[in-house]
Amino acid sequence: MRAMVYRGPYQVRVEDKDVPAIEHPNDAIVRVTLAAICGSDLHLYHGLMPDTRVGHTFGHEFIGVVEQVGPSVQNLAVGDRVMVPFNVFCGSCWFCARGLYSNCHNVNPNATAVGGIYGYSHTTGGYDGGQSQYVRVPFADVGPTKIPEWMHDEDAVVLTDAAATGYFGAQLGEIAEGDTVVVLGAGPVGLIAAQSSWLMGAGRVIVVDHLEERLEKARTMAYAETLDYDELDDVVVELKKQTDYLGADVVIEAVGAEADGNFLQQVTGTKLKLQGGSPVALNWAIDGVRKGGTVSVVGAYGPIPNAVKFGDALNKGLTLRMNQTPVKRQWPRMFEHVRNGHLTPREVVTHRFPLEHIAEAYHVFSSKLDGCIKPLILPDAA
């Protein structure tokens, strides 16, 4: 089969690999019909995530058709069209039994601090991902869901992570009616977080980014006010002015470990790798939220420490909430919202690349060329 392969920082290509095999009785093999590159894949691509091995196939956002099932699989059959949450999870450990699917303890031998994720280094379990023609899906009775007949494939693939994470991020903000919500980052997660904030009763939603095409999308897709931090001397001061010097009631950090906006943090964090990425957005969130407010963090960070302004968070009495998204838990309610048109995941998609052009897709997305917000990967396109 053909699969995306990591060759080292800033280097990916397509190679022939063996089709994955059933390795556990509850495995399924899924033929991938559509995949996506996530912003967090760029952390791997840039060499920021420890234990990213040469030969690894990335990709934790994918949908496909069940090609083969293990002997204990009961809920799926060959030929089913399925969407697969980015989490690998068992459904039965202490954490899964309490709904914390993203914190499953039975699927990632390499670390206890993070659950299993497809195609996201050995730090999350060493599973090859879905930017390929076939992928091994463990716990087939637990993770995948059959794609509803009415659902568009591009909605389905974005729901496997980005959209679910945006919706989850708004929930972590514990939004109350009339709250002013600031969303940092107008990528796919931030855009859905902004849409979701309205569903939870926000009175005002402000999205911060510096790429005009993303801010435009925030205005048209999420009905949000926008701030371009490139045009501001100090984004935190602007947020204070915008909120009558209170600060936002809720800030959703939807950027993660490669935030722009501070040259020193960018260079030390993402170029020289002297810290675990650049936590600029997280620090803006802490400084931009009001005292006693809530910061929701759904931007992805790795295990290496960052220079975060924890003292400000303490002294402001903030509630900091965060997690990897337990995707499947979000789906039943999200499906209603998508069907009703209240959430529009596929609106974030801007580019579609054949798998054979994976290197080009990564470069365009990484460098944010051509207005790229969300690139999809078509495994069988020429």
Write out the binding residues for another protein, residues 83-122 only, by CB under 8 A.
88, 90-92, 96-101, 105-113, 116, 122
- Minimum CB separation of residue 94 from another protein in Å reads 11
- Nearest-angstrom CA–CA distance, 185 and 183: 6
23 makes contact with another protein (CB under 8 A):
yes
74 makes contact with another protein (CB under 8 A):
yes
What's the token pair of residue 261?
Answer: 């906006």
**Cβ neighbours of residue 367 under 8 Å, at least 6 residues apart?**
none
What's the token pair of residue 130?
Answer: 């879905």
Indicate the SS3 state at residue 265: helix
**Closer to another protein by Cβ: residue 3 or 313:** 3
- Minimum CB separation of residue 50 from another protein in Å reads 4
360 makes contact with another protein (CB under 8 A):
yes
The footprint of another protein on residues 340-359 (CB under 8 A) is: 340-343, 359
The footprint of another protein on residues 158-197 (CB under 8 A) is: 168, 171-172, 174, 177-180, 196
- Nearest-angstrom CA–CA distance, 67 and 19: 11
- Minimum CB separation of residue 341 from another protein in Å reads 6
Q: DSSP string of 31-81?
A: EEEEEE--TTHHHHHTT-SSS--TT----SEEEEEEEEE-TT--S--TT-E
- Minimum CB separation of residue 34 from another protein in Å reads 20
219 makes contact with another protein (CB under 8 A):
no
- Residue 113: how many other CB atoms lie within 10 Å: 8
Q: Binding another protein by CB under 8 A: which of 256, 326, 345, 379?
A: 326
What character string, x for contact with another protein (CB under 8 A) and - otherwise, covers 261-290? x-x--xx--xxxx----------------x
Q: How many residues bind another protein (CB under 8 A)?
A: 115
Question: If you search the block for the tokens 């030929």, which residue do you land on?
Answer: 79
- Nearest-angstrom CA–CA distance, 12 and 360: 9
363 makes contact with another protein (CB under 8 A):
yes
The footprint of another protein on residues 41-60 (CB under 8 A) is: 47, 50-57
Q: Is 322 exposed, middle or buried (0-12, 13-18, 19+ CB in 10 A)?
A: middle
339 makes contact with another protein (CB under 8 A):
no
- Nearest-angstrom CA–CA distance, 43 and 147: 29
